[in-house]
Amino acid sequence: MIIIKSPEDIKKLKTACKISADVLKYAGEQINAGMSTYELDKLIYDFITAAGARPSFLGMYGFKGSACISINDEVIHGIPSKKTIIRSGDIVSIDVGAYINGYHGDNAYTYKVGAVSPSAEKLLRVTNECLHLGIAAAQPGNRVGDIGYAVQKHAEENGFSVVREYVGHGVGRDLHEEPEVPNYGKPGHLARLVPGMTIAIEPMINEGTANVKVMPDGWTVKTTDGKLSAHFEHTIAITEKGPVILTCADGDF
């Protein structure tokens, strides 16, 4: 069942989303070559708890980190580890949420560590563009399929592929609510978008094949060909005037 939020619900959700966005921006500022993903995750935990919230991901389905931190060919769900060291030239996806006052925020961004390859630069640019084209398609009266179509079209026109096994979703009192929001699809299909819906749009775009595999840890998802993957995400609200991004940090982001 799709839960339609009241203005008061969205106000509370926006508080969670603001903390989520602020910690995501902060994490990007803290990334350095030579640090472990465990160290980065600890900084994320400290930031969220200092804001009076708790990490949405910590303990969810047994996940052991405050954020999913995925490097290079890791698509999503990278587990923070003392053994995983960030290197110059890596691209690092951070997916993080905060829970406060009964609501979750959820967002992701893929950061560059130092200078990266031209192909990585293009992948990050296009994936971020896919996110914002998906958001632009999230107009009241449109359907979820319009979002996926906008993402898929732009990714494939640029020579990239769209992960199909993992999708965006509704966000609210639960981190994962209905509807599912695929990053592919047909215009005019799936659930209709109406004011009061709050959803996370999160393109996961691969440099090579769309095929992915789950690693033996049961969490980390990688591309099957070892090529790069990027992940960007915002939580948005559907309003009568159009989509509004709720995961907005202080300053430019």
For 139-164, what is each residue's pLDDT tens digit? 999 999 999 999 999 999 999 999 99
What is the number of other CB atoms lying within 10 angstroms of the CB of residue 117? 12
In a domain, 134, yes or no: yes
What is the pTM (predicted TM-score) of this model?
A: 0.96
Report the domain count for the chain: 1
d(Cα 228, Cα 119) in Å, to the nearest integer?
9
Token readout for 183 is 């990053």
In a domain, 239, yes or no: yes
Helices (H), the chain: 7-30, 37-50, 118-136, 144-157
In a domain, 1, yes or no: no
Taking only the tens place, the pLDDT of each residue in 16-66 is 999 999 999 999 999 999 999 999 999 999 999 999 999 999 999 999 999
In a domain, 82, yes or no: yes
Collapsing DSSP to helix, strand or coil, 127 comes out as helix
Q: What's the CATH number where 185 sits?
A: 3.90.230.10
Domain that holds residue 74: 7-245
Residue 75, CA distances (Å) to 33, 65, 104, 166, 207 in order:
20, 16, 22, 10, 11
> Which range, of 93-107, 138-152, 159-173, 236-250, averages the lowest pLDDT?
236-250
In a domain, 192, yes or no: yes
Taking only the tens place, the pLDDT of each residue in 209-221 is 999 999 999 999 9
| E strand or H helix at 41 | helix 37-50
Note the pLDDT of residue 250: 65
Nearest to 35 by CA among 72, 81, 89: 81
In a domain, 60, yes or no: yes
In a domain, 20, yes or no: yes
In a domain, 178, yes or no: yes
